[in-house]
Amino acid sequence: MTEKKRTTIILFSGDYDKAMAAYIIANGAAAYDHEVTIFHTFWGLNALRKDEPLELKKGFLEKMFSKMMPRGADKMALSKMNFAGMGPKMIKHVIKKHNAMPLPQLIEMAQEQEIKLVACTMTMDLLGLQQEELLDNIEYAGVAAYLADAQEGNVNLFI
Amino acid sequence: MTEKKRTTIILFSGDYDKAMAAYIIANGAAAYDHEVTIFHTFWGLNALRKDEPLELKKGFLEKMFSKMMPRGADKMALSKMNFAGMGPKMIKHVIKKHNAMPLPQLIEMAQEQEIKLVACTMTMDLLGLQQEELLDNIEYAGVAAYLADAQEGNVNLFI
Amino acid sequence: MTEKKRTTIILFSGDYDKAMAAYIIANGAAAYDHEVTIFHTFWGLNALRKDEPLELKKGFLEKMFSKMMPRGADKMALSKMNFAGMGPKMIKHVIKKHNAMPLPQLIEMAQEQEIKLVACTMTMDLLGLQQEELLDNIEYAGVAAYLADAQEGNVNLFI
């Protein structure tokens, strides 16, 4: 059987803990010689945002989305027990204590391991996100590119 | 290798944005000649509800579920930034502005592309939903039918 | 084609309804001769907690997590319509009425069907959970073990 080892993850969620899970699985799979893609769509795009604010021309609703959505991995909230921001602080504290990696480092590691990080162009349009706002070395594609990767492997997750 | 191209999605979520993602992937996969099934379970069943209220005989709890759950795709809330209904209005506005398709149209398109839409009979029972309340041309089945589809392909998602 | 029938589920969620869905799919797959693994990570670990409180030495943050997280499957909340605990009561009531199985019984059934229940050691560390707090006959492993199972089959879900 010649099926390639391939892991393709759709990261839909904008939660810190879910994005951590996605990147831990992705980094693990890359270490075991899978070809790995993380396709960021909807709120998952926030994990790819740069930290600094940019002055970009945007419509009113797009500006509102930009303001309200977390600017980058480090600003994301927890899916459970967020407690107005206390939860992420607790998680980051235990991550440090146990020598685990916080999300921004997991993303760096993914880029070093040549995991393909894709931003969904259709939802970037909807949420008014522009390429200047996202990290460097990201690919831009749509559902067709996702399917092309996903159908070649069998570890396909929606997170 | 003769593995069929097949995409099988469990739509568990009752969120507008997650259901959009499910139907965008499904319609994309159908366009690329996958056989596609969306298996609606738990809150995902709400995407299949008809808009009009029906007078049906139901027990007390089943009536409460019916009342409290959104009646159809257009009434569903966002998973993030719902803001008491403001979020869905914003999303629908940007969908229109960018000539994207709102959820009810994505579901119509799925039916035109002969995507198999299945309602999970076990959770219909639990939530007190009856066939009269759901869209036409839906199939009714349980976990065995889901597995029969899922094990034939490799793009299997839980949304 | 010699691909094994295999279902591998990551249970990330700590919601009663999502854990129910995971265990219903898993039990169904086992009944159809799949080899089945449920890999519990983050909040999904709570489904494996024993009901009784234990006196264990823990750091401050780990103690807080222990206190705030539900102690076992029966204590978990719904992802939707939780209504401060009313929702789970309603669901458990309709489960009983329709002769369906509540979550703790679904877990017992999974163990009887020899579904492999795995607890993610990395997130146990982060959340300060210890083996004494979890059900008996659980396996303990990390992302490498997950991938070893997942890459052998094609029904791979993240719940």
- B40-92 pLDDT tens trace: 999 999 999 998 878 888 888 888 888 889 999 999 999 988 877 888 888 89
Q: Which residues of B touch A62 (CB under 8 A)?
A: 94
**What CA–CA distance (Å, rounded) separates B99 from B83?**
24
What is the predicted pLDDT for the residue at A2?
47
Domain B6-51+59-142, CATH number (from 3.40.50.2300, 3.40.605.10, 3.40.1260.10, 2.10.109.10):
3.40.1260.10
Half-sphere exposure of A121 (CA within 13 A, CB side): 8
CA distance C124 to chain A (A): 11
Q: Which residues of C touch B75 (CB under 8 A)?
A: none
Confidence category of residue A64, pLDDT binned at 50, 70, 90: confident
What is the predicted pLDDT for the residue at B1?
40
Half-sphere exposure of C102 (CA within 13 A, CB side): 15
State which residues of chain C have pLDDT below 50: 1-2
What's the one-letter identity of residue B99? Answer: N
What is the predicted pLDDT for the residue at B2?
46
Helix (H) or strand (E) holding B39: strand B35-40
What is the predicted pLDDT for the residue at B42?
96
Confidence category of residue A152, pLDDT binned at 50, 70, 90: very high
Q: Which CATH superfamily is domain A6-158 in?
A: DsrEFH-like (3.40.1260.10)
Q: By the CB < 8 Å criterion, does B44 face chain C? A: no
Class of the CATH domain delimited by C13-50+57-158:
alpha beta
Q: For residue B101, what are the contacts with CB-CB under 8 A and spacing of at least 6?
A: B95, B109
Contact B121, B38 (CB under 8 A): no
What is the predicted pLDDT for the residue at B56?
87
Half-sphere exposure of B54 (CA within 13 A, CB side): 17
Strand partners, C9: C38, C157
What is the predicted pLDDT for the residue at A67?
87
What is the predicted pLDDT for the residue at C61?
86
| Least CB–CB distance from A154: residue in C62, C65, C153 | C153
What is the predicted pLDDT for the residue at C52?
82
| Residues listed for chain A | 159
**What digits encode the pLDDT tens for the residues C16-33?**
999 999 999 999 999 999
Return the top range by mean pLDDT from A116-120, B1-5, B124-128: A116-120
Q: Which residues of C touch B157 (CB under 8 A)?
A: 157
What is the predicted pLDDT for the residue at A3?
56
Closest-CA residue to C128 (of C79, C59, C74, C70) = C59
What is the predicted pLDDT for the residue at B20?
97
Domain positions in chain C are 13-50+57-158
- More confident of the two residues C22 and A57: C22
Mean pLDDT, residues A130-135? 96
Contact C24, C85 (CB under 8 A): no
pLDDT at A1 over 70: no
pLDDT at B3 over 80: no
Closest-CA residue to C18 (of C125, C142, C106) = C106
